[in-house]
């Protein structure tokens, strides 16, 4: 990995598939016949808050039944051992990267184990069920909602991501379909700043043509092999 010092890694639902968490698109997808971009919106939340809150309550509770897989563990090892800059940007709302031990990471699409106040914007750790109308500790409004970035809402920490992409020597995308922006555009952004780009995915994605190289296979096999290569072991 000559000349590589700063790495940005983007992960998607595919990295958690081998832990037993369904991906969004494709057969058996999480939204079962609905297009995620039709149902995962602020309008859907406003129309049926009980249904949407319940959906996320079930997924939050299901986190107790899954654990990190070899791909999450390999990225946590990279985080511990890589001497240069590293940022793992996950689109996932599960907590498997941090449970594997990754620290230099962020959740751009929110977190299941967090609640967001729709009135004041406060975010707080949340592990129980979250019924509609739960009051915010900070402003008192009965406005806590799942801390999930819906379509049409701004993903978190975009400035930090853009700054990391601008400094990256290598951008790696793992287990994401390249169907959702702005994440799907990171490969071209990183390239414009001069980074090399690599995709690790089960199959070719909508964005594959943009990458310098694509390796196909399950993340649980590809990611540990790639991390060993990067760390020279
Ligand atoms: C494996 C594997 C294994 C399987 N090993 N791999 C037109 C053009 C451009 C943009 C837009 C547009 N129209 C609208 C937009 C914007 C919109 C958008 O992108 N829409 C598209 C439908 C076109 N985006 C937004 O609204 C975003 N906000 C925004 O743009 O704000 C404005 C802005 C302006 C300027 C700068 C910045 C922002 C918000 C997007 C929010 C997405 N939220 C969700 C919901 C989470 C809720 C929940 O969990 O319930 O996030 S949608 C859903 O998709 C989720 C995911 O994070 C996201 C991406 O999915 P992901 O991870 O790629 O999963 P899959 O299932 O699609 O793919 C899995 C992949 O894994 C596949 O490739 C498999 O092959 C692979 N795989 N098993 C390795 N074992």
Strands (E), 46-156: 86-90, 105-107, 110-117, 123-125, 144-148
The answer, yes or no, to whether any atom of ligand 1 lies below 6 A from the CB of 16, is no
Q: What are the φ and ψ backbone dihedral angles of 38, each rounded to 5 degrees?
A: -90, -30
The mean pLDDT of the chain is 95
Is the torsion defined by CA of 198, 201, 207, 209 positive or negative? positive
Q: What is the rounded CA–CA span in Å between residue 142 and residue 59?
A: 22
pTM: 0.96
- pLDDT the model gives residue 31: 63
What pLDDT score was predicted for residue 25?
80
Catalytic (active-site) positions: 109
Tell me how far apart the alpha carbons of residues 115 and 145 are, in angstroms, rounded to a whole number. 6
Rounded Cα–Cα distance for residues 232 and 97 (Å): 22
154 lines ligand 1 (CB under 6 A): yes
User: By the 8 A CB rule, do 219 and 72 touch?
Assistant: no
Cα–ligand 1 centroid distance for 232 (angstroms): 32
| Res 33: pLDDT | 62
Atom of ligand 1 nearest to the CA of 178: 63
What would the two tokens of residue 55 be? 């959906």
Ligand 1 pocket check for 25: Cβ under 6 Å: yes
Our mutation pick for probing the ligand 1 site, out of 180, 182, 216, counting the most ligand atoms within 8 A of Cβ, is: 180
39 CA distance to ligand 1 middle (Å): 13
Atom of ligand 1 nearest to the CA of 205: 73
Could you report the per-residue pLDDT of 63-89, keeping only the tens digit for each? 999 999 999 999 999 999 999 999 999
Give tens-digit pLDDT for 151-179: 999 999 999 999 999 999 999 999 999 99
The two tokens of residue 50 are 């009980």
């Amino acid at each position: 990995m000559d000349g590589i010092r700063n790495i940005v890694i983007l992960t998607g639902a595919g990295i958690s598939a081998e832990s037993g968490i369904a991906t969004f698109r494709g057969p058996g997808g999480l939204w079962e016949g609905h297009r995620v971009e039709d149902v995962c919106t602020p309008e859907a939340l406003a129309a049926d808050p009980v249904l949407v809150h319940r959906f996320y309550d079930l997924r939050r509770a299901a986190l107790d039944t899954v654990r990190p897989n070899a791909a999450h563990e390999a990225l946590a090892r990279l985080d511990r051992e890589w001497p240069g800059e590293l940022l793992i940007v996950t689109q996932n709302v599960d907590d498997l990267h941090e449970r594997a031990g990754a620290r230099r990471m962020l959740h751009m699409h929110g977190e299941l184990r967090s609640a967001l106040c729709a009135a004041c914007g406060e975010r707080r750790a949340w592990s129980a069920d979250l019924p509609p109308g739960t009051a915010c500790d900070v402003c008192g409004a009965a406005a806590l909602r799942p801390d999930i970035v819906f379509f049409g809402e701004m993903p978190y920490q975009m400035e930090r991501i853009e700054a990391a992409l601008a400094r990256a020597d290598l951008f790696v995308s793992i287990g994401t379909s390249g169907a959702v922006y702005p994440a799907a555009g990171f490969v071209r952004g990183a390239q414009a700043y001069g980074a090399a780009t690599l995709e690790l995915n089960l199959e070719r994605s909508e964005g594959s043509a943009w990458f310098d190289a694509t390796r196909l296979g399950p993340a649980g096999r590809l990611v540990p092999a790639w991390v060993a290569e990067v760390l020279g072991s």
